[in-house]
Structure 1
């Protein structure tokens, strides 16, 4: 198994073990095909539960174009203040790359107690990643960064550096699962009374998975076609 596949599978299994009510769903996207290959080029897995409302895994493996890409999004319920969790792990021929983050459910600048409870504990982990030799900035612009969190780790990596980020992924996943299990303090939730969590989540997820915002969807369309690509996006934009 490749490094990106192994990292994503380990993390997915960790989430499923920590939240055992997640149940895998049937999906017509279970086997992804492409005009580029007679064999399947990937798969989608979907799990649904309660405290973790939905987990979506998307894997694309096409050796002829040196693509080995694996993604997890774990979504909390629409009305929850607990962030979503995401991990991308990729090998693109010349380099490895990864994207690791918790996606805020409310504005951080105006809700400092929420920031401190949900994100600040990740600061030592985030800062330690800067010391990993072999990481370089990924090509992501401020428009995409603005809809994620300041604790987002998104880098290209040498093989050695990619292997070294496993402990950071584990730390983010453990912190996130703790938030899911324990919830946020009552005073923190009271401070979010000005936020329509469900409406904000709908808008943010539409932006995160927008073709206009993220150019990766154009690349996926070239591989899978527009219809299949939009079906994958539909799994990601809503828990239903």
Structure 2
């Protein structure tokens, strides 16, 4: 593969994440929370011998109806990794789902994860499911039909703590490009939920408690093995600090 092609494919994963972040920040006039040095909230430094120095950053934005928007980018050319994650967190006492997107280029293959994180148990609250998630079905089915994608292997435990409308796939470059409109589809649908609001079937206290428990599971190294690989790259202390931010601590 030529250097020009490598740069193109590496930038494609970042462009999807960055453009989505820019849209959310602009939509809600969010402001970035900077680190003590005036830069990103966290700078991620490699703990691997083959990659020295800074390999990533964590950015936090606040404002509007969101609690915060958290992004994490890790780029390590030495191991052919270009990974970008964003999570748009609603307040803990809100019934509106959180929005998340992972956009990754690893070696010759792309991968993505796109979802709205439920705020209540869908099986026990079918009215909530029908109101909040069922309208996403057409968009979900269209994304699932993209030629050149295949389901990524994740555990049943990981699926159980997200939504059944989660998209998590590996993709060819062409398929990954075809994903962009579907990310916008999920994003625009989420905007509507944020702006209309949702009547919660459970109390504010129960929403807060469930959100805390659900986020602890989503970002648990025991449930998601990616955290072990991340800590091997950026160190245990930075990995725990990042998870604490994502848990809302």
Using the size of structure 2 for normalisation, the TM-score is 0.90
Structure 2 counterpart of 1:27, from 16, 22, 35:
35
Alignment correspondent of 1:6? 15
Bigger relative contact order, structure 1 or 2 (CA pairs below 8 A, ≥6 apart): 1
- Which secondary structure state, in structure 1, belongs to the residue aligned with residue 42 of structure 2? coil
Structure 2 counterpart of 1:215, from 200, 225, 236:
225
Structure 2 counterpart of 1:138, from 148, 152, 158:
152
Alignment correspondent of 1:47? 61
- Name the CA distance, whole Å, in 2 between partners of 1:213 and 1:65: 24
Per-residue deviation, 1:48: 1.6
- Which secondary structure state, in structure 1, belongs to the residue aligned with residue 95 of structure 2? coil
Per-residue deviation, 1:177: 1.3
- Name the CA distance, whole Å, in 2 between partners of 1:152 and 1:73: 14
- Name the CA distance, whole Å, in 1 between partners of 2:117 and 2:94: 12
Aligned residues: 234
Per-residue deviation, 1:151: 0.2
Alignment correspondent of 1:65? 79
| Aligned pairs for 1:159-178 within 5 A | 159-178=173-192
- Which secondary structure state, in structure 2, belongs to the residue aligned with residue 165 of structure 1? helix
For structure 2, list consecutive stretches of 5 or more residues without a partner in the other structure: 1-7
Structure 1 moving runs of 4+ over 6 Å: none
- Name the CA distance, whole Å, in 2 between partners of 1:85 and 1:195: 21
Per-residue deviation, 1:195: 7.4
- Name the CA distance, whole Å, in 1 between partners of 2:186 and 2:144: 15
CA contact (8 A) 2:83 2:105 kept: yes
| Aligned pairs for 1:94-133 within 5 A | 94-133=108-147
Alignment correspondent of 1:89? 103
- Name the CA distance, whole Å, in 2 between partners of 1:203 and 1:144: 14
Alignment correspondent of 1:147? 161
CA contact (8 A) 1:133 1:161 kept: yes
CA contact (8 A) 2:33 2:59 kept: yes
- Which secondary structure state, in structure 1, belongs to the residue aligned with residue 177 of structure 2? helix
- Name the CA distance, whole Å, in 1 between partners of 2:166 and 2:28: 23
CA contact (8 A) 1:27 1:46 kept: no
Per-residue deviation, 1:193: 4.2
- Which secondary structure state, in structure 2, belongs to the residue aligned with residue 192 of structure 1? coil
For structure 1, list consecutive stretches of 5 or more residues without a partner in the other structure: none
C-alpha root-mean-square deviation of aligned residues, in Å? 1.5
Tell me: CA distance 1:226–1:211, structure 2 relative to 1, closer, same or farther (3 Å). Answer: same
Q: After superposition, what is the alpha-carbon deviation per residue over 1:41-65, rounded to whole angstroms, capped at 9, x for unaligned? A: 0110001224111110000000000
Per-residue deviation, 1:154: 0.1
CA contact (8 A) 2:118 2:162 kept: yes
